[in-house]
Amino acid sequence: MSCILEAPFMIEMIRTVTNMYDHGWDERNGGNVSLMLEEKDVAEYLDTHRVLRTLDTGFTAPELDGRCFLVTGTGKYFKNVQYAPEVNLGLVRLTEQGQKAELLWGFSDGGRFTSEFPAHMMSHVARLKVDPDNRVIMHCHPANLLAMTYVHDLDEKAFTRTLWQMCTECIVVFPEGVNVLPWMLCGTNEIGEATAEKMKTARLVVWSQHGIYGAGKDLDETFGLIETAEKAAEIYMKIAHLPWKNVITDEQMHQLEKRFGMKAREGYLD
């Protein structure tokens, strides 16, 4: 049996969270990532019959029963993941309709998964109903998107259109737009439920004055999704106070729809 630290999914997880930290998205222990895995793929690296301990999840998700997740730990700093992955990451399998999580590897210091684990799992459930290939939920604190929630109207259509207008690629990368939540208390099932509801119609959900949730088929796609939205927000924050002489028009965005064979969210373009 191969060492789990050599598994492609482990290597990519470590690279991704390190990159997120280097981008300044995950200060201190801010942010969290969960990657859904097939048990057969995990079994190439671990004895999946050997359970280290069982954790309560605090929620019910029968749709995820038996699913395995590689997830960041609560209170863990992303900068440390590359140096001690077995401490800062954990691999769990959900049981008892999602109410229990069997720890198969990691959290070697006695830790547990992120406090946002319920929000992640609820979002996984929501996205799997839209896209059966969804595997990743990613939460982080990109500075420009946060700043934008202080000065921009939080109406989802308005917020989305502004991001689309900042970079030509934005409407191509996230044609369904961005959904937005008002400030809510983090680490609760309430914000998890609200986020999951928003995930039904978009892969990006902004938590006002807090951060963003992204979903995707793999770590690269999800990282790139957030990276693109954050770049657009950065441009907006640089020019919001200046007179605009040029903008990407709706007519031009319709040209992008035709060129790239995609469709913008219904009702968001004139």
Alpha-carbon separation of residue 9 from 41, 52, 107, 151, 220 (angstroms)? 9, 21, 17, 38, 11
Inter-residue contact 171 to 232 (CB < 8 Å): no
How far is 163 from 231, CA to CA, in rounded Å? Answer: 9
**Given the residues 27, 86, 116, 230, the one annotated as active site:** 116
Going by the DSSP 8-state scheme, the letter that residue 114 receives in this structure is -
Nearest to 208 by CA among 141, 114, 131: 141
- Give the E-state strand segments of the chain in sequence order: 32-37, 53-56, 68-72, 89-95, 100-106, 136-140, 179-181, 204-207, 211-216
Going by the DSSP 8-state scheme, the letter that residue 4 receives in this structure is G
Answer yes or no: 116 catalytic: yes
Cα-to-chain-centroid distance, residue 242: 32
Burial of 58 per CB tally in 10 Å (0-12, 13-18, 19+)? middle
How far is 253 from 265, CA to CA, in rounded Å? Answer: 12
Burial of 127 per CB tally in 10 Å (0-12, 13-18, 19+)? buried
Collapse the DSSP code of 263 into the 3-class scheme (helix H, G, I; strand E, B; otherwise coil) and give the result.
coil
Catalytic residues: 116
